[in-house]
Amino acid sequence: MQKQKNLLNLQNLVKRDPQSYIQEFETAYDFFKSLFDAFKLAPTKYDRELAEQVMFVSQVSHCYRDKVADFPLMLISLLKQSASLMDSEMRMAFCKALILMRNKGLVTPLDIMQLFCRLFKCQDKLLRRTLSSYIVQDVKNVNAKHKNAKLNSSLQNHMLAVIQEDSIASKKCAEIMVELYRRGVWRDAKTVNFIGTCCFSKVTKILVTGLRFFCSASEGDGGGASSDDDSDIDEESYKRQSKGAALAHRVGPKTNKRKKRLERQLQALKKHKKKKRRVDAFDTAALHLLHDPQTFAEKLLKQVETTSEPFEIRLLMLDLCSRLVGVHKLQVLGLYPLLQRFLTPRQSDVTRLLLFAAQASHSMVPPDCLEPMVRTIADNFVTDRASAEAIAVGLNSIREICSRAPYAVTEELLGDLVQYRSYRDKNVSSAAKSLIQLYREANPAMLHRRDRGRPTAAQAEAAATSGSALAQFGQSDVKDYLPGAETLELMDGGEGGNDDDDWGEEEEEEDSDDGSGEWVDIPQSDDEDVASKTGSAAAGDAAATALDPTAARLRAQAVATSRILSQRDFKRLEQAQALKRIQATTSGRKRRLAEAAAATAAAGKDNNNDDNEISISAGDSGHPSGLAQLSDITRLAKRPKMSRLERMESAAEGRRNDPDSKKYGFQVRRMNPHASSTNAEKRKSKAFSMVKHKARGKTGTRSFRDKQIAFRDALLKRMRKSKR
């Protein structure tokens, strides 16, 4: 202990004045070398004195760079030779010393990171966890200001060589590459393809790491129901912790140091709160960075058919394969018969399998491959023998498939599915109506006449441009104009004022707070004036969309080629397209103006939620990634009735989370809470056999005659007592 104290004192003195203690440091360094040479002869033993000397030299190494130039090389060579034989504490001490010298710039990052990747093979979880977190942080710091391409490439090649060895270090290297990608440090194609090689590893843990990287959204999906509760809990914990920190600051001296500490603590709490609120949305960028997705998907499908891994891992393989097929529109025709084998209501995780079927559907898949799969879903789920929940899930799955490939269902089958619109269960009827709404826009000719609804301007435009409302298989509808541009004004010669005004208005909005110091008169308008202006604008849009489809297309071409569109113009295009989807082609003037005003008001509130219809173009899904979501398959219009057990659990959960739950139920209302309870309170906790004689006397009501007799006997008894 005395030696350690003297070493710490010397370390403190050397850091303060290095030149005055050169001789003492040289003596200590020579002593370290002698201990180090002795340790190399028996590396399995723990030498506490050597560990202290190593930490001392690493702490003051920046003061004598020339004298300790060989110090990191000695540690690295020993770890390379005898790391697996060394004691865990000695190995950790050497690694911490190297980390200290790396932070001081005495060791190159590539040498130390390659060494740490080798040390992942040691049977030491704490060491692997420490080194992996340090590698991630160090690579992030190196690439903070600018990308160090040379270091990144060398380290990636080294990690790929380690991954191909199929050892414990392979899993750690794969996890490091995944973490660096998620932190935005290594977001290049090389990293993604290196992680892609993990999807075909023979080691199960490495295989799962690669699959979960590409299918990271599948774990987060389906948790939207509890997201609000989690946010409320996070909000409460944030308020409680921030209040506790403020109260703790009130006690004690009011110094600037304690004030800054409080500010840092509140800032850290606020940062943690924002991180909790962040939504984990699936990003398809990794799927787009794969070099050969077609070959990748085919190899993955073959691996699913031949592997002996558990069913959960095979589900991850199917998930990744279906995502690749949907995102890249691949032709992997063997995937659909494989999925068809598992589409039964009794199959475990059948909702995820239905989701994979929807993800793998796109407009380039031949109808011969999709029709048998849709028929299987209809036969196994959408039947009178199945439960209402199974029917709703089956109809939702068919709708998601048809929204990506409208020709996946035959007219006869569609007619049978539409009949469920009058089913007694609301979830089933809503799913059937959503399927009807889809085909009203996709191909109204496949529906019965009573189900087609009123023809809309969007249907008339699609029929005029492509010859039919539904494009045939393999046909692409390429437009040479901007849809909805006919609602904008044509720019001719001197009529370009509106466009310039739009750009000028946007610039004025940005520079509105320039501090000119002059008063600006803002005219105030009543609600009636605003409504009249909205109605007139909507009427103008309705008049423009009521043009003949051919004339509207020619006008849209002229507008698109004669002016530069601003952001406000693009918003008007979205409003015009929303109006076309709900505006009927054969309606009266009043109905047309009312529909136009409603569409304009809805588009003004939110351009992304301007209609509740399912669009089969541009994304195929409301999710930003364009992929189907599990919530779309399991969507229920009406929440199912809870059982008694579920109601009891919900009530218990509410009592636990309710801060005012303590004011309900029995409470001790004595002035002294430690006083004894009353006899009435004790009687409630007694067994019934002890109090049944009293309960029997109190239960039941006496008749009026019994009361008369009892009252008479009481009076007679009193009289006899008085005579005595």
Structure tokens at 300: 């993955």
Length of the chain: 724
Asked if 167 and 20 sit in the same domain, the reply is: yes
Position 690, amino acid: M
Tens of pLDDT, residues 656-674: 776 666 666 666 677 787 7
Compute the average pLDDT of residues 401-421. 91
Rounded to two decimals, the pTM is 0.70
* Complete DSSP assignment for 151-216: HHHHHHHHHHHHHTT-SHHHHHHHHHHHHHHHTTSS-SHHHHHHHHHGGG-SSHHHHHHHHHHHTT
Helices 109-119, 168-182: inter-axial angle, 10-degree rounding: 130
Asked if 22 and 157 sit in the same domain, the reply is: yes
Q: Which of 413, 434, 461 is the last residue of a domain?
A: 461
**350 in Cβ contact with 342 (< 8 Å):** yes
Asked if 194 and 46 sit in the same domain, the reply is: yes
Q: How confident is the model at residue 177 (pLDDT cuts 50, 70, 90)?
A: very high
Q: Which residues contact 396 (CB under 8 A, 6 or more apart)?
A: 431, 434, 632, 633, 634, 635
Residue 534 has pLDDT above 80, yes or no: no
Compute the average pLDDT of residues 170-177. 90
Tell which wins on pLDDT, 410 or 515: 410
**53 in Cβ contact with 35 (< 8 Å):** yes
In-domain check, residue 106? yes
Q: Rounded CA gap, 523 and 525, in Å?
A: 6
The dihedrals phi and psi of 671, each to the nearest 5 degrees, come to: -70, -35
**51 in Cβ contact with 40 (< 8 Å):** no
What is the DSSP code (8-state) at residue 607? G
Q: Rounded CA gap, 549 and 626, in Å?
A: 29
In-domain check, residue 37? yes
Tens of pLDDT, residues 423-446: 998 999 999 999 998 888 888 888
In-domain check, residue 165? yes
Compute the average pLDDT of residues 607-627. 46
| Per-residue pLDDT at 577 | 78
Share of the chain above pLDDT 70, in %: 77
| Per-residue pLDDT at 273 | 67
Position 531, amino acid: A
CB atoms inside a 10 Å sphere around CB 427: 21
The dihedrals phi and psi of 173, each to the nearest 5 degrees, come to: -65, -40
Tens of pLDDT, residues 218-257: 343 333 334 444 444 456 677 777 878 887 777 778 888 8
Which residue's structure tokens are 């540690």?
A: 75
What is the DSSP code (8-state) at residue 642? P
Asked if 63 and 189 sit in the same domain, the reply is: yes
Asked if 4 and 132 sit in the same domain, the reply is: yes
Tens of pLDDT, residues 681-696: 888 888 888 877 776 6
Structure tokens at 606: 């939110």
Compute the average pLDDT of residues 317-344. 93
CB atoms inside a 10 Å sphere around CB 35: 17
Residue 293 has pLDDT above 90, yes or no: yes
Nearest Cα to 579, choosing from 560, 602, 596?
596
Q: Which of 170, 201, 216 is the last residue of a domain?
A: 216
In-domain check, residue 618? no
| Per-residue pLDDT at 9 | 86
| Per-residue pLDDT at 702 | 77
What is the DSSP code (8-state) at residue 456? B
Nearest Cα to 556, choosing from 573, 533, 542?
573
Asked if 163 and 18 sit in the same domain, the reply is: yes
Residue 595 has pLDDT above 50, yes or no: yes
| Per-residue pLDDT at 674 | 78
In-domain check, residue 441? yes
Residue 518 has pLDDT above 70, yes or no: no
What three-state secondary structure class fits 584?
strand
Q: How confident is the model at residue 211 (pLDDT cuts 50, 70, 90)?
A: very high
| Per-residue pLDDT at 569 | 86
Tell which wins on pLDDT, 526 or 590: 590
CB atoms inside a 10 Å sphere around CB 75: 23
Tell which wins on pLDDT, 348 or 471: 348
Q: Rounded CA gap, 94 and 77, in Å?
A: 11
Compute the average pLDDT of residues 184-201. 91
**414 in Cβ contact with 444 (< 8 Å):** no
**Domain span holding position 145:** 1-216
Asked if 212 and 339 sit in the same domain, the reply is: no
Q: Which of 177, 196, 216 is the last residue of a domain?
A: 216
What three-state secondary structure class fits 494?
coil
Q: What is the CATH number of the domain that holds 112?
A: 1.25.10
In-domain check, residue 162? yes
In-domain check, residue 403? yes
The dihedrals phi and psi of 255, each to the nearest 5 degrees, come to: -110, 160
Q: How confident is the model at residue 341 (pLDDT cuts 50, 70, 90)?
A: very high
**54 in Cβ contact with 74 (< 8 Å):** no
In-domain check, residue 86? yes
Q: How confident is the model at residue 90 (pLDDT cuts 50, 70, 90)?
A: very high
Tens of pLDDT, residues 441-475: 888 888 888 888 777 777 777 666 655 555 567 77
Mean pLDDT computed over every residue of the chain: 79
Tens of pLDDT, residues 570-581: 888 888 877 777
Residue 699 has pLDDT above 60, yes or no: no
| Per-residue pLDDT at 516 | 43
Which class for 433: exposed (0-12), middle (13-18), buried (19 or more C-beta within 10 A)? middle
Q: How confident is the model at residue 102 (pLDDT cuts 50, 70, 90)?
A: very high
Helix (H) or strand (E) holding 695: helix 688-698
Q: Rounded CA gap, 35 and 47, in Å?
A: 9
Which of 264-273, 378-387, 555-564 holds the top average pLDDT? 378-387
| Per-residue pLDDT at 224 | 39
Instruction: Specify the number of domains making up the chain.
Output: 2
**206 in Cβ contact with 163 (< 8 Å):** yes
| Per-residue pLDDT at 613 | 36
Q: Rounded CA gap, 281 and 221, in Å?
A: 9
Helices 311-328, 293-306: inter-axial angle, 10-degree rounding: 160
Q: Which residues contact 15 (CB under 8 A, 6 or more apart)?
A: 59, 60, 63
| Per-residue pLDDT at 537 | 47
The separation between the first and the last C-alpha atoms of the chain, rounded to the nearest angstrom, is: 100
